[in-house]
Amino acid sequence: MKPRSLTGTKSRLDGAGLLLIAGLFLVLFPPLHWLASGSYPIFGLPRSLFYLFGFSALLTAGLALAWLLDGTKA
């Protein structure tokens, strides 16, 4: 039996589904919050802001890419 998709009825997990799983990990993994805590600068941004804006930008770019590659017609 083929594995079912998280996001549709195709037999594979599509890009948006993978992005959602990656996003949930980045947002909801407490050790990452603890590692990112503090004001030590990374590329001029305090570490906690670098973490927050970094993965937020990644999620946004990933969603835009998923939309551009999406083949939904209707």
Partner 1 sequence: MTSAILITYGTLAVFFAIVVLILQVAHIKDRNFTEFAVAGRSFGGAYQAMAFLNTYLPGTIFIAGVGFIASKGVIGFYQLPACLIGQLTMYVMARRVWTWGSTYDLRTQADLLGLRFGSRAVRILASLVGVLALLPFLVLGMQSLGAVFSALSFGRIGYTSAVVIGVAAMAVRQIWTMNMGMRGIVISDFFQGIVAYGIGTLLIIGLIAWLGAQGIGFTSVEPRLYVFPGPASPVPLAFFSLELTLVLGSLCFPDLFIRLYTADGVRSVKQGAALGAPIALVFLGGLNLLALLSTALPGVAGKPQDAWFALAGRAGGPFALALAGTMVFAASMGNFDATVQSCATQLANDVLGACLKLSSRQLTRIARATIAILTIATAAIACLPLPQLFTLVLFGLQAVIQLSVPLYLGIFTRFGNSTGAAGGLIAGIATLAVLDLRWPLAIPWAFGLNAGLIALGVNLLVYVVAGVLRAPDMEEHRRIERLFAALRIPPKAPAEAPSEGAPAAD
Chain residues in the site for partner 1 (CB under 8 A) = 6-9, 16-17, 19-20, 23-24, 26-28, 30, 33-34, 36-39, 41, 44-49, 52-53, 55-57, 59-60, 63-64, 66-67, 70, 72-74
* Residue 34: count of CB within 10 angstroms of its CB: 9
Which CB atom, from 2 or from 44, has the smaller least distance to partner 1? 44
- Nearest distance, CB of residue 3 and partner 1, angstroms: 12
